[in-house]
Structure 1
Amino acid sequence: MTHQKTSHIFTKIALIPLNTNLFNIVLLSFFLTLGTCNIYSQDRYNKTSSIPVQNQKDKSISTPKKDAKSTTITKTISDTITKDSIQPKVLLEDKVRYNASNYVKIEQKKKLITLYDNAELYYQDTELKAGIIVLNYEKNEVYAGRIKDSTGKYTQFPNFKQAENVIEPDSIRFNFKTKKALIWNSKTDQGEFKVKAVITKKENDSVYFLKKARFTTSTNVENPEYYFQTNKVKIIPGKKVVTGLTNLVIANVPTPIALPFAFFPMTKETSVSGILLPSYNDSNNRGFSLQNGGYYFALSDNYDLTVLGDYYTNGSYALRFESSYAKRYSFRGNLNFRFENLINSERGYPDYSKQSIYNLQWSHSKDSKGSPNSTFSASVNMGSSKYFQQSINQSNVGSNLNNTLSSSVSYSKTFPGTVGSRLALTATHSQNTQTSEINMTLPDLQYSVDRIYPFVGKDGVKKGFFKNINLLYNLSGKNSFVTTDSLFFTKEMFDNAKLGVQHSIPLSTNFKLFKHFSASTSMNYNEVWTIKTIRRNYDKEQSAVVDQTVNGFDSFRTYNFTSSLGTTIYGTFNFKPDSKIKSIRHVMRPSISYGYTPSFEKYFDTYATDATGKMTKDYTRFEGGVFGAPGNSNSNIVGFDLSNTFEAKITDPDSTKVEPKKIMLLNNLNFATSYNFNADGKTTFAWAPIRVSGGTQLFKDKLNMNFGATLDPYAIDNAGNTINVYNINNGGSLFRMTSANMTLNYSISSRDSDKDEKDKDKNKQGQRNGGRDDDLFGRSTMDHARGSSQFDDEEDTGTDKITEFFASKLPWDMTFAYSLTYGNNNRQNKITGNSIMISANGDLTPKWKVGVSTGYDFVLNGVTYTQLRFERDLLSWRMDFNWQPFGDQANWSFFIGIKSGILSDIKYDKRSASNR
């Protein structure tokens, strides 16, 4: 309450002509006496509000800094304006805090407070900022509006915030008690929608009615590239938006697309259940179709489910179930299952066919924080071998070219203690998509006890040959299957299972020899248990050698001895001081190893190879076992290995640096071979071929180069068989190169730094299907219906970026791969493989992105898998076109749709008829 001067409220009596009498004279004298004094009314001032305005501060509101042009006035008023001996009527239910830059005007009679210029008012959960604010504290009502600046332009538009709802209108009237409001030209955000309405009526905290409204997901509310126009809208914040007749307007041009009403869920939850609208397509072999239609179930905060389906008029159909799940600090994963019933042509036609294909993908990972002593993970990709080649719904780039599907599910647990141990259970799966052969272990059990040093003293020091002696215990159990697609998980598959258990106890030690050599030696004992063996004999009725399965427990035991000796040799070659190359360092790590395994002839029997029984061969009943079989000959082998690395020190191009710069010339250059003392010279030879391998990285580690070669010292005869004669003694060179290979991988980009980590996941679904993580085999286009971008998604490509773009270089990136293989096993002396693959992405403009993946096979003289990609950023919309012009997978796809997830069903998705 403002401070008032007493001179403004004293009482004055004016004299007028009166009839004189004693009573009147006395009365007049009394009042005249009173008129000479100051008389105060019964209003009492709140002493807490009697501080001068220019010195008063409200600690709950930050007061703007004062300048020469404006003065900020800040006040806090209580819930009653006047106090009297009689309890007054409560006008406001809470304290009102306010401030303004120009002035604050209080009118007690009208019960009004007027705030002007940068006005702010805070009451309960309501925040209001505007050019002018008028508060009627008797009616619990506030009005806020704009003001004009010196040029006559409206500024300081109201900003009204109540709880989490924010409205930016031209003006607003709001009642604090009834929570009703009348808003003119309001702008507000409702979820992903930006809503603008001529008149808005706020009925209460949970209901808004809008008249002549438009809503969009565009960031430009005043001039959106598209919006939905409607005359009547009902909004329940955080729950739903219901409209009357709604028309889609694009670029301010009304379209024929209209709905009699529309409903949009606006829940604050991260995901909402809803229908997924299908897209229309046609096929040469299956007729018209509806694809990718279904329903999304937001089952809880921890997991969801998407059910999608396709239907073709010839009877073909497809179903897909996709689910993601997660629990914080515990686990996360996703599960996808796809099934397709394919019908080609029509019954009665020669090209009619019918088949069912499926694919299962499961990925699971466990957070180590939840249980540090145990882990569980899964990476599953299994199903019909021809699924990715024959699927009618998606273009599986990369997956079509992959020949192997693999899976692994594993669980491990560690048992800590004085002598710890570890248990691991694993199920593995490997499937050749060309031969349809499946190799599977279910399960693979591994149990191991931690290394034990029985001769270490109390001090725990492990030094020398004796104290370094240690032993382990490993238990391995496998149940292995080899089957095909047609027999997968049938009785025949389990009948052919191979089950075995292996116990292994290695005893080893390591020590230094002559200070510069590292030596190690070990002995290993193995015992294998099996429940199936074979009996081999000649069957006269079949005139062939046959194997009979013998069910029952059996076992065999083997042992071997190994030792190795190695050292490291350093060499440095220094150049002249004025040379750019300061020195080259060569590190050699030679090693020699010896291994001996005796013959276990006691586990071998003989069988007749013909009807006479005179010709016999040795065999062991443990052949084909899951852990192999014992050998019937001594193995007495010495191995030689030499690894090399080369690095150089050069003058640093940066003149400010004094120290020379280190660069790697060769990461590794390895030579390996062995000599068998027990070779028979017929089926086995003394010297093994020398294997040469190496690799390096060049051009700031952007170019990876790997190479290898096999050098055989023995000659071959006219039939191409290796003979026990050195090649140099047969008129040839010292070694005969039987094979060689080289691969180059090079990635460059217009960006100064390497590609962002997220680029590694840009083809994530292609990786899960068995493809590559880059673009060399193209990108998967299977998720177009859900609006996934083929290129790196950038949120804002507005005017600022366009201006910057034309003053800078075009962003681009390229991945290059080259592969060369040489074969000369049988003197063919030819290049068996020679191909190049290139993938490039670039921006033609800030709104246009293009990409290409292609290659050429120089041996087959043909273009490899090729994909062309185009994408246009249409601000709130996205458009892309993908074209694969060559091969059996030739097709194209076109997509245009709204980026926003809530309007993702507003799209057009068209694909060409598949050649499959």
Structure 2
Amino acid sequence: MTVSNTEPNLQNNSIRALQTNRHYLTIFLTFLLLCSAVLHAQDIPPKNEANIPKTTKEDTISVNLKPIVDEINEQAQDTVKTDSIKPPKETLTDVVDYYGEDYVLLNRKENRVYMYNKAYIIYGDMRIDAGLIILDYNKNEVYAKGIDSAGVYSQRPIFVQAANKVEPDSIRYNFDTKKALVYNSRTEQNGFRVIAEVTKKVNDSVVYLRNVKFTTSKNIDDPEYYFYTRKAKFVPKKKIVTGLTNMYIADVPTPVGLPFAYFPLTEDRTSGFIIPSFGENNSRGFFFQNGGYYFAINDYLDFSLLGDYYTNGSYALRGESAYVLKYKYRGNFSARYEYLVQEERGFPNFQESAIYNIRWSHMQDTKSNPSSRFSASVNLGSSKYFNQSINQTNNASALVNTLSSSISYAKSFEGDPQVNFTLAATHSQNTNTQQISMSLPNLNASVSRIYPFAPKDGTKKGIIQNINFQYDISAENRIQTTDSLFFKPEMFNSAQIGAQHNIPLTTNFKILKYLSASAGTNYRETWVLKSTRKRYDEAAFDGQGGVVQDTIPGFESYRTYNFSTSLGTTLYGLFNFGNDKKIQAIRHVVRPSVSYNINPAFDRYYDEFIIPETANEAAGETVQYSRFENTLYGPPSKVYSSSIGMSLSNTFEAKMRDSDTTAVEPKKVTLLNNLNFSTAYNLAGDSLNWSPLQFNGSIPIVPKLDFNFSGSLDPYALDNNNNKIDVFNINNGGSLFRLTNANVSINYSFSSKDFEAKTKDTGIDNETFRNGGRPDDLFGEASNIYDGQIYKNNEEEDVDKTNIEWYNFTIPWDVRFAYTITYGNGQRQNEISSQSFMMSTNMELAPRWTVGVSSGYDFKNKGVTLTQFRFQRDLESWQMSFNWTPIGSINTAWYFFIGIKSSMLSDIKYDKRRESDKRL
């Protein structure tokens, strides 16, 4: 029986929470309740008047009715307590909201509601969208499927409950048991796409599947690869456990199969094993690399322990940790140790060594505490680590010749004056000479400027009101050692401890309104805990005699002071050519300045000793020395100096007519940026009073391309032995100045994006930069030995390239190059000491093909510098990359990788590489 004719206004109406048909449903439910009460309540016994006792009327009126009333009340209470009638359970315990665009039909006979075309039903946290939805009140079930029109199946159901989403062909869901039966479902969990022929939802935490495909491909209808299993158990947001599983590529089964499989789906980090890669090395045998365990300690801290093992006995251990506390700080720490064995014991090429590297980076959020800041940037270890490491394929890091570290804590105390102090530890290591310099620790403290004569209104005028002074102290414990003695007790034997106190007193004022003048003096006191004594000992050096130097522990100090003044101004020159010209005007800005400095001689801190006449060499010579020669800050100067310094700064700018006809103002262009000259004249010197003329400048050629140059011009001539003499070069038959040294450098980077709309920079997170190298790829890119990626892959910003043409007519590209040349002529050598050109480029030849190259040429040594070729193929869900370094001093190698992009399946990969010869 259909009731569509009795409900004339149901079509195209949205029904919210059963409100529109409430009177029909109320009548229907009331009818069911009455029928249920009639059929199942206790029957009323028939009247039996014989059982009713007769009563006789008495003449007396002293009848006590209380026992009768109490008995009736007790019987009534007993009847209520033993009544078996229970209120019926409601059909649906929550509000139901449903809708159908074409019609919503209520069939009273079947007790069903039909919704058709763009229908949906919402019950609690469950929502179903489909072409046809049937709500069955008898079974408390809902059935949903799509619409089959002209052979096209459209409006497939979409089932959403909480955070779970399923897109099947059809679905049945029971409101009471909350179980569901789904056919041909499609769902996604943490990047995993699951396609199942039949799905049975048991409850909110367990789902069983049959004939299932698992993939990370974005094309769920035609994935390029998938894992197929006949039975699986699916726990949302936790795991997928399967039976026999095979891998299919392009719907073709592969030999890759497992008797069972486990796929974690948790959104949070979880601890687990890291599967190692394996291979063979010619000199070390078979190996397992990068295997270990990942510890997800909590939401703020993790730790991974990785290791390598080679069959010849080489092994490596690496511990890496990252931590973050939002709005407070973040950082990472890594420690790496490798024991390397080359060849086999007993063979002539057998070698063994141990190398290590420690890195720590800590950054504090500036908003967490404005008055104090802690930061750390540590990179220390063996000097040959990046060259000899068996698990480091970063060519650019191998070219780094300096490792540096710094750990500092800074604190400011607000007030007037403000007090600042910094406690730090620094480290600098030359990987070529293996010399290490450490400052552990050093202290710097200062008091801000104090103006004792400043007026209360804060406006300072004149020489007196601008008088100011401040105080600062620096103390340091410096250690000089070598790589072989690092972390050993011997490294502390040569430690030097000292402190310096500085009190500068300065003022500034105006002269004739346009001249800016300043004057000041500085008092400095130096403290040391070791000093030096020298003497001539005839019995020293096996009786041959010689100068003996003794280190005397104990407190020593000396005090120095100086005076300086300067005068400067700014001059402007403007040359107008007319508004109708291409170049309308040129402005020249000149900033000349003159300074005077005087430094007294502190010869009272110098001692002397005499070499006796019996000595073989330098007999009777008097030798002067300072007991502060080998101290932390060195000795004070014993030479009186009085010098005048001169400097000149130039800037040239032009006003040019803008090529854009809509522009109102002319365009400002810099022609010459900061052409600077500086020299000095020593008034106290007896010869060679003029210092060389230093110059430097920058010429902008095009945006982001500057021509930088610097050099030195000497006014004095050279003798026949190429020694400088007190004769001007122009008076010796030469030019006014001799060019003794010069340097020219050009750096430029541009890309196809420069010709497009401006985009926001994504920043650089570069492994080479963390190791102390350049952040760009002029010396090659680092291959990530953990996932094989040469270029960063941001899955969130990955563009859908499923339906694109094979020809990429807008080829993205980028180019970077650097050129530098250094000239030396200090002693008539007239040679180019260094000249090199470095270049790097990346180009996307096709939407899925990217190539890159980094190379250069050394004009001095006439050879190609380190060269690297990079190739990457985007295989949609997979990635293939090849990194080849055919030319390099010690870094020739290649690396091939193919694997799944998704981090969840990163262990499904194949990689192969040839390491460089670490013995060179």
Fold agreement, TM-score > 0.5: yes
CA distance in 2, matches of 1:574, 1:91: 92
Q: CA deviation at 1:696?
A: 2.9
Q: Say which SS state the counterpart of residue 299 (structure 1) adopts.
A: strand
CA distance in 1, matches of 2:787, 2:726: 65
Residue 671 of structure 2 is aligned with which of 651, 665, 671? 665
| Structure 1 residues 317 and 75: CA distance shift in structure 2, 3 A | farther
Q: CA deviation at 1:96?
A: 1.1
Q: Which moved more, 1:617-626 or 1:199-208?
A: 617-626
| Structure 1 residues 128 and 589: CA distance shift in structure 2, 3 A | same
Q: Say which SS state the counterpart of residue 82 (structure 1) adopts.
A: helix
Q: Say which SS state the counterpart of residue 769 (structure 2) adopts.
A: helix
CA distance in 2, matches of 1:671, 1:500: 36
| Structure 1 residues 658 and 895: CA distance shift in structure 2, 3 A | same
Q: How does 1:700-849 map to 2 (within 5 A)?
A: 701-751=703-753, 752=755, 760-761=763-764, 764-781=766-783, 783-790=784-791, 793=794, 795-799=797-801, 802-803=804-805, 806=807, 808-849=809-850
Instruction: Say whether residues 1:503 and 2:509 are aligned partners.
Output: no
Task: Look up the match of 1:82.
Answer: 29
Q: Say which SS state the counterpart of residue 210 (structure 2) adopts.
A: strand
Task: Look up the match of 1:242.
Answer: 241
Tell whether the 8 Å contact from 1:57 to 1:75 is kept in structure 2 after alignment.
no
Q: How does 1:606-755 map to 2 (within 5 A)?
A: 606-609=608-611, 612=615, 614-681=620-687, 685-699=688-702, 701-751=703-753, 752=755
Amino acid at match of 2:868: Q
Q: Which moved more, 1:457-466 or 1:244-253?
A: 457-466
Task: Look up the match of 2:565.
Answer: 563
CA distance in 1, matches of 2:418, 2:389: 49
| Structure 1 residues 709 and 775: CA distance shift in structure 2, 3 A | same
CA distance in 1, matches of 2:103, 2:579: 80
Deviations 1:205-229 (A, max 9, x none): 1000000000100011110010000
Deviations 1:487-527 (A, max 9, x none): 11322211211101111111111111111111111111111
Q: CA deviation at 1:238?
A: 0.9
CA distance in 2, matches of 1:80, 1:168: 37
Task: Look up the match of 1:909.
Answer: 911
Q: CA deviation at 1:168?
A: 0.6
The alignment covers a number of residue pairs equal to 853
| Structure 1 residues 88 and 344: CA distance shift in structure 2, 3 A | closer
| Structure 1 residues 801 and 833: CA distance shift in structure 2, 3 A | farther
Deviations 1:203-257 (A, max 9, x none): 1110000000001000111100100000011011111110101101111111100
Q: Say which SS state the counterpart of residue 804 (structure 2) adopts.
A: helix
Amino acid at match of 2:402: T
Q: CA deviation at 1:440?
A: 0.9
Task: Look up the match of 1:107.
Answer: 107
Q: CA deviation at 1:579?
A: 2.3
CA distance in 1, matches of 2:354, 2:399: 21
CA distance in 2, matches of 1:671, 1:860: 33
Deviations 1:858-889 (A, max 9, x none): 11110001000000000011110000001321
Q: Say which SS state the counterpart of residue 635 (structure 2) adopts.
A: coil
Tell whether the 8 Å contact from 1:200 to 1:210 is kept in structure 2 after alignment.
yes
| Structure 1 residues 79 and 231: CA distance shift in structure 2, 3 A | farther
Instruction: Say whether residues 1:140 and 2:140 are aligned partners.
Output: yes
| Structure 1 residues 628 and 756: CA distance shift in structure 2, 3 A | farther
Deviations 1:23-60 (A, max 9, x none): xxxxxxxxxxxxxxxxxxxxxxxxxxx99547965567
Q: How does 1:391-402 map to 2 (within 5 A)?
A: 391-402=389-400
Task: Look up the match of 1:118.
Answer: 118
| Structure 1 residues 796 and 377: CA distance shift in structure 2, 3 A | closer
Instruction: Say whether residues 1:266 and 2:289 are aligned partners.
Output: no
CA distance in 1, matches of 2:590, 2:261: 75
Q: Say which SS state the counterpart of residue 820 (structure 2) adopts.
A: strand
Task: Look up the match of 1:15.
Answer: none
| Structure 1 residues 448 and 252: CA distance shift in structure 2, 3 A | same
CA distance in 1, matches of 2:673, 2:802: 45
Q: How does 1:81-480 map to 2 (within 5 A)?
A: 81-83=28-30, 87-149=87-149, 151-269=150-268, 271-480=269-478
Q: CA deviation at 1:578?
A: 3.4
Task: Look up the match of 1:46.
Answer: none
Task: Look up the match of 1:39.
Answer: none
Q: CA deviation at 1:796?
A: 4.0
Tell whether the 8 Å contact from 2:870 to 2:884 is kept in structure 1 after alignment.
yes
Q: Is there any run of 5+ residues in structure 2 with no aligned partner, and where? A: 38-86
Task: Look up the match of 1:537.
Answer: 535
| Structure 1 residues 550 and 159: CA distance shift in structure 2, 3 A | same
Tell whether the 8 Å contact from 1:82 to 1:88 is kept in structure 2 after alignment.
no
Tell whether the 8 Å contact from 1:376 to 1:411 is kept in structure 2 after alignment.
yes
Task: Look up the match of 1:591.
Answer: 593
Instruction: Say whether residues 1:850 and 2:855 are aligned partners.
Output: no
Deviations 1:523-542 (A, max 9, x none): 11111111000011223322
Task: Look up the match of 1:876.
Answer: 877
Deviations 1:760-790 (A, max 9, x none): 516x100111111111101111x23224342
Deviations 1:91-127 (A, max 9, x none): 1111111010122222233221121211110111110
| Structure 1 residues 141 and 760: CA distance shift in structure 2, 3 A | closer
CA distance in 1, matches of 2:12, 2:210: 46
Q: Which moved more, 1:787-796 or 1:643-652?
A: 787-796
Q: How does 1:476-495 map to 2 (within 5 A)?
A: 476-495=474-493
| Structure 1 residues 690 and 173: CA distance shift in structure 2, 3 A | same
Amino acid at match of 2:159: F
CA distance in 1, matches of 2:395, 2:854: 11
Task: Look up the match of 2:56.
Answer: none
Amino acid at match of 2:471: Y
CA distance in 1, matches of 2:468, 2:25: 83
Tell whether the 8 Å contact from 1:79 to 1:95 is kept in structure 2 after alignment.
no
CA distance in 1, matches of 2:584, 2:747: 29
- Backbone CA RMSD of aligned residues: 2.3
Q: CA deviation at 1:597?
A: 1.1
Tell whether the 8 Å contact from 1:479 to 1:499 is kept in structure 2 after alignment.
yes
Structure 2 length-normalised TM: 0.89
CA distance in 2, matches of 1:77, 1:281: 75
Tell whether the 8 Å contact from 1:787 to 1:899 is kept in structure 2 after alignment.
no
Identity %: 52
Deviations 1:815-844 (A, max 9, x none): 011111111111111111111111010011
Q: Which moved more, 1:346-355 or 1:861-870?
A: 346-355
Q: CA deviation at 1:801?
A: 6.8
| Structure 1 residues 548 and 153: CA distance shift in structure 2, 3 A | same
Instruction: Say whether residues 1:514 and 2:512 are aligned partners.
Output: yes
Task: Look up the match of 2:582.
Answer: 580
Amino acid at match of 1:826: Q
| Structure 1 residues 743 and 53: CA distance shift in structure 2, 3 A | same
| Structure 1 residues 77 and 656: CA distance shift in structure 2, 3 A | farther
CA distance in 1, matches of 2:843, 2:371: 47
Deviations 1:839-861 (A, max 9, x none): 01001110000000000111111
Q: Is there any run of 5+ residues in structure 1 with no aligned partner, and where? A: 9-49, 64-72
CA distance in 1, matches of 2:12, 2:103: 14
| Structure 1 residues 698 and 792: CA distance shift in structure 2, 3 A | farther
| Structure 1 residues 78 and 625: CA distance shift in structure 2, 3 A | farther
CA distance in 1, matches of 2:342, 2:848: 41
| Structure 1 residues 720 and 81: CA distance shift in structure 2, 3 A | farther
Q: Which moved more, 1:906-915 or 1:324-333?
A: 906-915
| Structure 1 residues 325 and 791: CA distance shift in structure 2, 3 A | closer
CA distance in 1, matches of 2:711, 2:838: 23
